[in-house]
Amino acid sequence: MPKDTSIRSVLIIGSGPIIIGQACEFDYAGSQAALSLKDEGITVSIINSNPATIMTDKVIGDHVYLRPLTVDSIEAILQEHIASADLPNIDAVLPTMGGQTALNLCVEASERGVWEKYGVKVVGVDVAAIEKTENREAFRQLMVDIGVGVAPSKIANSFLEGKEAAQEIGFPLVIRPSYTLGGSGGGFVHKKEEFDAALKRGLEASPTHEVLVEQAVLGWKEYELELLRDSNDNVIIICSIENFDPMGIHTGDSITVAPAMTLSDRCYQEMRNQAIKMMRAIGTFAGGCNVQFSVNPANDDIIAIEINPRVSRSSALASKATGYPIAKIAAKLAIGYNLDEIENQITKTTSAYFEPTLDYVIVKIPRWNFDKFKGANKELGLQMKSVGEVMAIGRTFIEALQKACQSLEIGRAGLGADGRQVRNIEEIMDGLEHASWNRLFLIKDAMAMGVPLESIRKVTKIDKWFLNQIQDLVLLETELKRYSLNNIPQDFFFTLKQKGFSDIQIAWLLGNVTEDEVYDRRKALGINRVYKMVDTCAAEFPAQTPYYYSSFDQENESISSDKKKVIVLGSGPNRIGQGIEFDYSCVHGLLAAKESGFEAIMVNCNPETVSTDFNMADKLYFEPVFWEHVREIIELEKPVGVIVQLGGQTALKMAEKLTEQGIKIIGTSFENMDIAEDRGRFSDLLKELNIPYPKYGVAENAEEAIVVANEVGYPVLVRPSYVLGGQGMSIVINDEDLEKAVVKLLGDLPGNRVLIDHFLDRAEEAESDSISDGDDVHIVGMMEHIEPAGIHSGDSFAVLPTFSLPETVTKSMEEYSIKIAKALDVRGLLNIQFAIKDEKVYVIEANPRASRTVPFIAKAYDVPYINIAAKIMLGVAKLKDFTIERKLKGYAIKEPVFSYEKFPEVTKELGPEMKSTGEAIRFIKDLEDPYFRKLYKDKSMYLSK
């Protein structure tokens, strides 16, 4: 069936601010869907309150509504389209791209009769299907009716019903609340004494106060299948995904592998059949679906865990893993196309009605941020706790696993062999039993210490095949120690590289040699990294899409062109302090480079993002943003320069090595960026410029710190150099607290220096973002924080433009911004944080890079600031070439959003270390707005949220 021509205008519902359990994979899905519909000549309207995403940018939607995600907002948009001659009436709504938030909103609007009232068709899903999948009892009953196995369970809407269910089923149990996200409110109950508290939490977390009390199949294996179906009832399986971790850990917190590695063909065929049967049973919609199964390792019995009739966290992973753009195709299916009528986006010569074949292995590892949540329960379970993820591609599981470890940005050079191993056997065994962020590393440490593989399997319940793969690494390391760098046999060296060992790991294992020496020796032996194409069909058809990963093999499939090239380094995994706003900047950097006549090359390892969509850059390398990988891509491509300013701290960390290798950094030089990062040099610069700054000192140990603190005067702000999102920062008021803080900091970040600033108590805080081209400086925006200084800027409510600062203060902020931009010879973006006390303006810090706030300001003023800055960095334009018109009426407020419900034991106190996971934007007409007045009144409420 060709497309439904009655659909001319579609509303896509976004997922709102980033929270744990619902992150930028929905930004990716929404962006893909919007572009896919626009290709069909359909007008796309988007509602989403998140200003940090590319999805809410004019390059994606025709009409973007940055409004709270409520039914009232949706109704107002539908009315505006009816009332305006310039806007088309909205014919259909696509709610499957915005996670649970969008689905719940769609159901609520349906219940209130909104879609019917305005003649809007729900596409991509059946409202009835959402009900069947989200209502735990309806889902269980449906599975029983169609003959799909489920764990024994009972529904409970009250305390009494819950206790009766527990008595009937027996422990261990799992509690699954209805209509929640990322496992919120769910959990395992191993014994009777824990049950009451867990049941209460589950009933409270569910918006319908309903939970499923289910037998816990702990230790069973977990799998996911990604499906697509068209209106002709053709169903295809896009990807099978196996969880490395057994049942008991939320899939968002599990290491996952694609394709499934340890699944028998018989079991896989049965799983496929059941998944297709399940998808057909929940409704007649055309679109995407994610199904989760559990398999008993003893006898291959299969039970269904859940089905999600929408694109999911795993759909983004499956899209990047296979090169099959699920959201893009799902959007076309939603408007009536059948699979055989849509072209395969990668080959351009075959149809989308095929199942991808992988001749490589994908590994996803989640990224946690427990360091931001002091006192958090770090054990992994049913409630998702990770804030981001990395994906790696290799020819084998173990190569991909090592590359994924290098991508995480936790200071690891791969899976172990880097001097960071744990040698305390009690700590290791406890960590194997109680899974946390580091269990993978502890498995390797246990093997290295001689713990038998079977003992590890019994404790972790991880499949023996995976454990054997890791054991192989231990054996290779033992063998390598027999050699010196000059006598490693060429074939053995090649094997090490094929198994994913980085040069720095090999250097560490050999001892007394450097990474560069290993690199030089490897090159002398002719062992070079080659690049393979992701083509969806195991090279059966030629691919037209330049999407690559590296490995050690004979043939290189990435041919470097003779065009002028620019490499944009991405921001790696999402984490607190470095989120989706940097991906927004990277996407705009790519677009600006393409518009300026360069070949734009992206390097990044985050599967959730738009920057790693294969048609955003001219060439995509899905690789760790890790020195060895970046270096070899540069050697192959020979770019005119590398952009490090847009990818947050991840990309900036590469600047020094790039400069040492004589590779041009596009924009502000490393030397000038380093002055801003080095507190001592930066303060000297401020002194020279006659700009006030808080008194400070630098210490290398606790004794020096106490001397410095007494000189600058308490309270003091203690922090390490070169960190992001306020990592490790604290405010202390006496010698005793200072000593504890410094000892901890130097323990966590050995070799670092500690900065001690006088803390300006009860000061106001503000910030400016600006663009400089070397001659002129343009102030992008100045924001005033509602909370006082002492709360990290990422956790503060901030108002654009400033609302209470006297003109003398804003003039000083502007003057200091221009002076610093010129002194640092900034080419591109500059963010400056100010503290204001008694109307005197102090500069706290300056960051000559894309900031967390530029996307917010760009959306509020409706000016493409990152595009402008990127063209200035590339040297193809000056500020005077742009006409900048700000369109904001009234004020815009940046609202931080926290994910504390995942960590109920953590205090909600705010301070200099950032804790928010995302943000929303809210527009107000004036300062009389009741929302603003309440915010301002509560601004110093014990500095907690």
* pLDDT of amino acid 417: 94
CB 223 within 8 A of CB 292: yes
In the chain, % helix, strand, coil (3-state, to 5) comes to 40, 20, 40
Q: Is the pLDDT of residue 326 over 60?
A: yes
Q: If you ran DSSP here, which 8-state letter would residue 290 be given?
A: E
pLDDT at 537: 67
Mean pLDDT, residues 229-246: 95
Quote the pLDDT of residue 200.
86
Compare 157 and 47 and report the one with higher pLDDT. 47
Task: Give the amino acid at 159.
Answer: F
pLDDT at 346: 66
Q: Are strands 153-156 and 187-189 parallel, antiparallel or unpaired?
A: unpaired
Question: Which band of pLDDT confidence, cut at 50, 70 and 90, is reported for residue 297?
Answer: very high
What's residue 500's pLDDT?
98
Report which of residues 1 and 279 the model is more confident about.
279
**In contact, 413 and 50? CB cutoff 8 Å:** no
Lookup: tokens for 708: 């410095």
Helices (H), 596-654: 627-637, 648-652
pLDDT at 195: 85
Helix (H, G, I), strand (E, B) or coil at 895: strand
Q: Give the C-alpha separation, 861 to 853, whole Å.
A: 12
User: Which of the residue ranges 438-442, 858-862, 902-906 would you say has the lowest mean pLDDT?
Assistant: 902-906
If you search the block for the tokens 């600031």, which residue do you land on?
865
The DSSP element (H or E) to which 902 belongs, if any, is none
pLDDT for residue 285: 85
Identify whether the C-beta of residue 348 lies closer than 8 Å to the C-beta of residue 615.
Answer: no
Asked whether residue 904 carries a pLDDT value surpassing 90, the answer given is no
Structure tokens at 442: 């502890």
Question: Whole-number mean pLDDT of the chain?
Answer: 92
Confidence band for 944, pLDDT divided at 50, 70 and 90:
very low
Q: Which residues are CB-contacts of 563 (< 8 A; sequence separation ≥ 6)?
A: 598, 599
* Tokens (6 digits) for 733: 């008021």
pLDDT at 757: 87
Fill in the DSSP letter of residue 667. Answer: S
Task: Report yes or no: 705 and 712 within 8 Å, Cβ to Cβ.
Answer: no
DSSP strand pairing (63-65 vs 43-47): parallel
| Alpha-carbon dihedral angle through residues 544, 545, 546, 550, given to the nearest 10 degrees | -100
Question: In this predicted structure, what is the pLDDT of residue 329?
Answer: 94
- Tell me the mean pLDDT in the region 409-426: 95
Q: Determine the pLDDT at residue 134.
A: 79
Give the tens place of pLDDT for each residue, 562-605: 999 999 999 999 999 899 999 999 999 999 999 999 999 999 99
pLDDT of residue 347: 66
Question: In the structure encoding, which two tokens stand for residue 680, read together?
Answer: 């001592």
Helices 425-433 & 453-460, crossing angle to 10 degrees?
40
DSSP-derived letter for residue 781 is E
Exposure pattern of 832-870 as b/e (b: 16+ CB <10 Å)?
A: bbbbbbeeebbbbbbbbbbbbbbbbbbbbbebbbbbbbb
Nearest by Cα to 802 from 850, 758, 769: 769
Which pLDDT value is given to residue 206? 87
pLDDT higher than 50, residue 942: no
Residues 885-924 as b or e (16 or more Cβ within 10 Å = b): eeebeebbbbbbbbbbbbbeebeeebbbbbbbbbbbbbeb
**pLDDT confidence of residue 491:** 97
Strand order of the β-sheet with 565-569 is 530-533, 547-551, 619-622, 599-604, 565-569, 641-643
End-to-end CA gap in the chain: 52
Spatial distance between the Cα atoms of 744 and 819, rounded to a whole number of angstroms? 36
Query: Residue holding tokens 């300001």?
Result: 857
Mean pLDDT of all residues in 646-652: 93
d(CA 603, CA 634): 10
Answer positive or negative: Cα dihedral of 198, 200, 205, 209.
Answer: positive
741-767 confidence digits (pLDDT tens): 888 888 776 667 788 889 888 899 999
Apex 436 CA angle, 434 and 438, nearest 5: 120
**In which element (H, E) is residue 589 found?**
helix 580-595
- What are the Cα distances from residue 323, in Å, to 30, 241, 350, 401, 407? 17, 15, 14, 19, 20
Q: Averaging pLDDT over each range in 38-52, 782-796, 901-915, which range is the top one? A: 38-52
Q: Which residues, other chains included, contact 801 with Cβ-Cβ below 8 Å and sequence gap of 6+? A: 781, 782, 783, 784, 888, 891
User: Looking at residues 902-930, what average pLDDT do you find?
Assistant: 91
The residue written with tokens 């880097």 in the block is: 418
- Weakest-pLDDT range from 385-394, 676-685, 778-787: 676-685
C-alpha span between 627 and 653 (Å, rounded): 9
Q: Is the pLDDT of residue 416 over 90?
A: yes
DSSP-assigned letter for residue 90: P
Q: Which of 80-94, 175-189, 762-776 has the lowest mean pLDDT?
A: 175-189
CA–CA separation, 342 and 40 (whole Å):
11
402 pLDDT more than 50: yes
More confident position, 519 or 217 = 519
Residue 663 clears pLDDT 60, i.e. is over it: yes
CA 699 to each of CA 682, 696, 722, 756: distance values in angstroms, whole numbers, following the listed order:
16, 10, 15, 8
pLDDT of residue 945: 39
Whether 184 has a pLDDT exceeding 80, the answer reads no
Residue 734: count other Cβ atoms within 10 Å of its Cβ: 12
H or E stretch covering 155: strand 153-156
Instruction: For residue 561, give the 3-state DSSP assignment.
Output: coil
Report the alpha-carbon distance of residue 127 to residue 95 in Å, rounded: 10
Three-state secondary structure call for residue 676 = helix
Tokens at residue 43, please?
A: 């007008």
pLDDT one-digit tens code per residue, 680-728: 889 999 999 999 999 988 888 888 899 999 999 999 988 876 665 567 7
Percent of the chain with pLDDT over 70: 97
